[in-house]
């Protein structure tokens, strides 16, 4: 099989995928099926009432030939949390993990070389075929996992302009830490509008002036030797890459400040030479090059050097260039 990376991120999948069904009050054995199509009842709870959540993580081909997965247990734990908060059947961690690793093993031939990766998309959907259950959670579900060879979501070093949005939230505040399609859909009107009006790549949601996250990534400021980011709350996604940056930062000479900060502080910091970055599984770290604040473009004059250095420190561990001192890397047997 080819180890080439398709031009469009996440558009090509491994031929088969694992599927685990929750039926009659219990999780069933893993079955394998084609990833080309999947059937749901037309009345499936996920299609009508949004009982759906997903994860994103990556497998890497290291320079010694080993194939590894980056922080899988953190993603499994986050999906289990999402399922609980959505009142869905909660996947069994061990079965979920075994299916994930078996998928990567079966897809070994399409795990690309550095700087590319195999993107993994576990998805949990509610399948109760009853459209009268708007007021209750689904009692049946399917967990399946897609694998897709990918390159960078954003080209490293390319322009990254953010519109600062203070009038709207990314999603309902109590839903923010759930990784579900509804939250991305909730942000989409503002993201599309920002692209059309300002040529912005994403929207930084700052309701009432409180700097939170973009439509698809966590956000950080790098001011001198300090990394500043909002503390964990229910309002935004608790990113695995975010956690990785904050864990590795002290070893790179940074102080970490998890605190609330305002758009006014952000603007002042950027005008004073601070860097800004987005963090997430797909892009790892994307340095921000400009903001649109109150209709005016504010360039990030501090450059991208520090953000790209942090990115390299993480990707060097992922590709086996430097040792993993944090327990992030899990070898696929």
Q: State which H helix or E strand residue 76 sits in.
A: helix 72-85
List strand residue ranges (DSSP E) for the chain, in order: 16-23, 26-27, 31-34, 52-54, 57-61, 67-70, 117-126, 141-150, 161-165, 202-205, 213-214, 218-223, 226-229, 255-258, 275-280, 284-287, 290-293, 296-299, 329-331
Sign of CA dihedral 218, 223, 227, 233: negative
Three-state SS sequence of 40-67: CCCCCHHHHHCCEEECCEEEEECCCCCE
Instruction: Give dist(CA 153, CA 16) in Å, integer.
Output: 23
Residues with catalytic roles: 179
């Amino acid at each position: 099989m080819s180890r080439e990376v398709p031009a469009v991120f996440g558009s090509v999948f491994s031929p088969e995928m694992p599927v685990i069904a929750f039926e009659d009050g219990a999780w069933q054995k893993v079955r394998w099926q084609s990833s080309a199509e999947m059937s749901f009842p037309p009345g499936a709870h996920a299609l009508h009432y949004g009982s759906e959540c997903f994860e994103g993580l990556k497998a890497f081909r290291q320079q010694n030939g080993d194939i590894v997965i980056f922080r899988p247990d953190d993603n499994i734990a986050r999906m289990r949390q999402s399922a609980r908060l959505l009142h869905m059947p909660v996947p069994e961690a061990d079965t979920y993990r075994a299916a994930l690793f078996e998928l990567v093993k079966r897809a070994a031939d399409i795990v690309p070389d550095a700087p590319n990766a195999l993107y993994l998309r576990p998805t949990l959907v509610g399948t109760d075929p009853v459209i009268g259950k708007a007021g209750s959670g689904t009692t049946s579900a399917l967990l399946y996992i897609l694998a897709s060879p990918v390159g960078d979501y954003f080209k490293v070093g390319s322009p990254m302009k953010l519109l600062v949005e203070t009038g709207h939230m990314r999603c309902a505040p109590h839903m923010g830490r759930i990784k579900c399609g509804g939250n991305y859909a909730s942000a989409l009107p503002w993201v599309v509008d920002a692209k059309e009006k300002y040529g912005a790549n994403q929207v930084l949601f700052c309701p009432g002036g409180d700097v939170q996250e973009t439509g698809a990534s966590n956000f950080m400021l790098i001011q001198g030797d300090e990394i500043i980011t909002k503390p964990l709350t229910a309002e935004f996604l608790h990113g695995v890459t975010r956690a990785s940056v904050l864990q590795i930062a002290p070893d790179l000479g940074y102080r970490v400040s998890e605190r609330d900060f305002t758009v006014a502080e952000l603007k002042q910091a950027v005008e004073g030479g601070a860097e800004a970055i987005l963090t997430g599984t797909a892009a790892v770290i994307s340095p921000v090059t400009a903001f649109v604040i109150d209709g005016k473009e504010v360039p990030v004059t501090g450059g991208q050097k520090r953000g790209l250095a942090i990115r390299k420190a993480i990707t060097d561990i992922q590709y086996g260039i430097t040792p993993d001192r944090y327990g992030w890397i899990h070898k696929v047997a």
